[in-house]
Amino acid sequence: MTSLFDRYRLGALTLPNRVVMAPMTRVRAAAGGLATPSMAAYYAQRATAGLIVTEGVQPSLVGQSNPGTPGLHTDEQVASWRPVTDAVHTNGGRIFAQIMHGGRVSHPDTTGMRPVAPSAVAAPGEVFTPAGPRPAPVPRALETAEVPEHALSYARAARRAVDAGFDGVELHGANGYLIAQFLSSSANLRTDGYGGSIAGRVRFAVEAVSATVEAVGGDRTGIRLSPGAGFWGAEETDIPELYGALLAELSSLDLAYVHIEVTTDEGVLVELRKAWPGTLVVNPVFPMGPRQTDKAAADHWLGLGADLISFGRAFIANPDLVERLRQGLPVAPDDESTWYQGGDTGYLTYPAYRHAA
């Protein structure tokens, strides 16, 4: 049986294990969306993961969702990321940047710009702003001629990511952000070629991924998906057909991987595994739910055909998570109050396991 600790070949990379550090928002960037020395230390501490995927990185100012998040759309941002990737590589790790366009999940108080989206439909609830939570605004619906520019923003950020020393990129197509908004039947009410039918709803995702592959190569490109999750009100219909069509379109691009969250029925995901010919990364628990991914869940999905398993919250308090899993050591709890508070407390202050003398 496949073990979580087996090596795996991912494009040009040899991963020493099948543990992936999942992307997690930590809002520790400096003004101007710059990566910081603390971020370099944070990711370097976790470099024993087979692969690290960073927090979401905005590809443009209008694509920024939350305040305090980093970018990859200016020369200064690229320069700020180089110490991060250098630190991870020095510690023997491999790191992809997750490129995340927030679409309608944003606010003018954060970016100075009205958010854009497939349609002028506000997300339900409140979004984060520098002054605290505010009701999500009604976004501006993109004109048909504007849509390709936003698809290309992922590719431009990917080129900058490679310039910054990243081993590759993951497009954030999950959790209700821009790509997921185009996939949605509630957030996407378009009647042009980017909406309506399944073929129309998957078009933006395919164009964004295709442009990124052209920019940096398929072996440096992944995408994260959350079938049926409904985050930020981005509901979907015809989930097996929708994601089956998307994977069929992506299958010719020789991607590094598809990263799927377990956000719909297991049987649906098993069928999608059969439909996807390439590397599959699975995050086995519902995001932000009560459970964390553990070794039992990882082994279950390896048995169902996943190639790699991503762990999110367990990595927050356990920089040495791979070794804890390997030796069956306790996994330390994290302090949720420090997830987004900024500073090094709850960020760099979790130690590796200490064996009793």
Q: What is the CATH number of the domain that holds 124?
A: 3.20.20.70
For 208, the 3-state DSSP assignment is: helix
Summarize the confidence of residues 61-76 as an average pLDDT: 98
- Token duo for residue 68: 């305090």
pLDDT band with cut points at 50, 70 and 90 for residue 285: confident
Q: Is residue 344 part of a domain?
A: no
Q: Is 345 within the bounds of a domain?
A: no
Q: Is the pLDDT of residue 235 over 90?
A: yes
In a domain, 50, yes or no: yes
Question: pLDDT for 131-148, tens place per residue?
Answer: 999 999 999 999 999 999
Q: How far apart are alpha carbons 160 and 11 in whole angstroms?
A: 19
- Whether 355 shows a pLDDT value over 80: the answer reads no
The rounded mean pLDDT for the chain is: 96
How many domains in the chain?
A: 1
Exactly one of 177, 243, 347, 350 is catalytic; name it: 177
Question: Does residue 326 belong to any structural domain of this protein?
Answer: no
Instruction: Confirm whether 334 is domain-assigned.
Output: no
- Assigned domain for 343 exists: no
Is 43 one of the catalytic residues? no
Helix, strand, coil percentages in the chain from 3-state DSSP, rounded to 5:
35, 15, 50
Of the two residues 272 and 285, the one the predictor is more confident about is 272
**What's the confidence (pLDDT) of residue 209?**
98
Residue pLDDT, tens place only, 301-320: 999 999 999 999 999 999 99
pLDDT at 356 over 70: no
Quick one: pLDDT at residue 354?
A: 85
Alpha-carbon dihedral 236, 53, 84, 152, rounded to 10 degrees = -40
Mean pLDDT of 24-40: 98
Please name the residues in contact with 193: beta carbons below 8 A apart, sequence gap of 6 or more.
144, 200, 203
Burial of 356 (0-12, 13-18, 19+ CB in 10 A): exposed
- In-domain check, residue 352: no
Give the span between the Cα atoms of 148 and 163, in whole angstroms.
Answer: 23
Structural domain includes residue 328? no
310 contacts 292 by C-beta, under 8 angstroms: no
- Give the pLDDT of residue 287: 75
* Structure confidence at residue 206 (pLDDT): 98
Structural domain harbouring 57: 8-309
Query: Is pLDDT above 60 for 357?
Result: no
